[in-house]
Structure formats: C-alpha cells, structure tokens
Amino acid sequence: WSQARTKFQSFFAVKVGDPAAEIAGLAKRIDTFKKPGGAGENYIGKVVHDPKKPVVTWGNVPLFAPYLTKANSADKGYVVGGVFPPDPIKKPIPQELLNEFINKKNLVYYNWEITGQRLEKWNLLIQFAAILSDRREQLVNKTKGIDFITSLYPKLGNTITDATVNGKELTITRKSHLGLSALEIALLTRWLDNPQFPKPTLEWPKPAETPRAKPRRIKPRKKPAAKK
C-alpha cells in the first residue's frame, strides 16, 4: 500500500513466526551481500540493525530511507517495511474497501489501486533500485516509453484484481482501463524501451566504452644547421 504525501511512501507487511529473528537474519544477509567481494559490494548506503526496536535501516541513500521493523499491531507476528517513513494514520481504511475481502473464504488475492498514481510510484521505485545498486546505466528516465506512461498518470483510475478458488479452479478477475496494473505497465514499458528488445530482460546494457585516443608522439624539430 502507499500514502499520498510523497511519491516514495510505499509499504508492505508480511506474516512471520518471529519478527525480531527475521529482522536480525535480514540484517546479517544484507551485511554479507555488501561486503567487499560480495555481489552487492557496489551498493551505496549503510545498513544499521537495532535489535531493541527491532529495526533494520538502509541509510545514506539519496531521497529514500528503506527500513524493516516489527509491526505495531495487536497481532505481533508481522513485519512491516517500506522505502520511506510513513505518516501517522489519520483516517482508517474505508469500510467499503474492507468489505470487498473480509469474510470471503474463497478469496486468495485482492488488489485495488488508483493506477495513474501507482504508476508514478512504481516508475520511481524502479529508478530507486538503480540508485541503490549504483548502476547508472539502469537509471533510465528519458525514453519514449517514460514519456508515454507519464502522460497516463492523470488518465488512469481504479484497477481492481481479485482471485478466488473453488475446488481446483482458480478464477482471476480484473477491472481496469487498460487491463494492466501499474507495475505491469511500468515493467512492460521498460522492456519495450530496452535497446536489447525483444530479449527477455529488464536490465539495460552498459554503455559502450569510448576507446581512448592514443597519444601522438611529436617529433622534435631539427635545429637548422649552423652557417659557416
């Protein structure tokens, strides 16, 4: 889910057995990942683990402040995280929205979004991954595809996706303007924009290195012969 004050406020929650242990384990894995010689040695920022709260934060990252902490709820078995601190909740979730999935036993998935707003956030989160990994070639923001999805922000409204199970049958239903969610539009655009299209990859190639010009050796001028 997300909040509207900034474009970076996107969050998630996961049910776990022991939140403190899961957070400590994640901090250890990130530390190993970022060590010299590790796969993430070029990732920027500093990871800090506070076992008392418990929380793990990834600081010194431009614009973003990723974190994972124990959820403050009646059910103590959740961790919650995001890429930017949340605002205090002043308005509860509308009851009409809760009624869409509460007490529906055969419902296994439900997602509702305002696709134009969510598309803007997903586009920024994809850029965030490039910033965090310090892979500047993945920081793509000047393409025809980006111009296209930017034009869609004010035009796309609600997208509702749900999935139900009846016996061995899975039924997926979606109501939307384009038939795609914001994440699907963002990833599809990135793929179509990619110079390697139609190769099935979202990673952009590294820019070709410009060969350095070899230094020219300048021959010293011969001194004119002295006149006799």
Q: Quick one: the chain helix, strand, coil %, rounded to 5?
A: 30, 20, 50
Distance CA 58, CA 67 (A): 6
Q: How does the average pLDDT of the chain come out, rounded?
A: 81
pLDDT class of 144 with cuts at 50, 70, 90: confident
pLDDT class of 169 with cuts at 50, 70, 90: very high
- Of 45-54, 91-100, 134-143, the poorest mean pLDDT is in 134-143
Residue 32 has pLDDT above 70, yes or no: yes
Whole-angstrom CA distances from 146 to 67, 136, 181, 188 are 28, 17, 16, 11
Residue 173 has pLDDT above 90, yes or no: yes
pLDDT digits (tens, 9 = 90+) for 202-227: 777 776 655 565 666 666 666 666 55
pLDDT digits (tens, 9 = 90+) for 36-88: 887 777 787 888 899 988 999 987 877 778 889 998 777 778 899 988 777 77
pLDDT digits (tens, 9 = 90+) for 116-125: 988 888 887 7
How many helices (H) and strands (E) in the chain?
A: 5, 8
Residue 134 has pLDDT above 70, yes or no: no
pLDDT class of 172 with cuts at 50, 70, 90: very high
Number of residues that this document lists for the chain = 228
Residue 228 has pLDDT above 80, yes or no: no
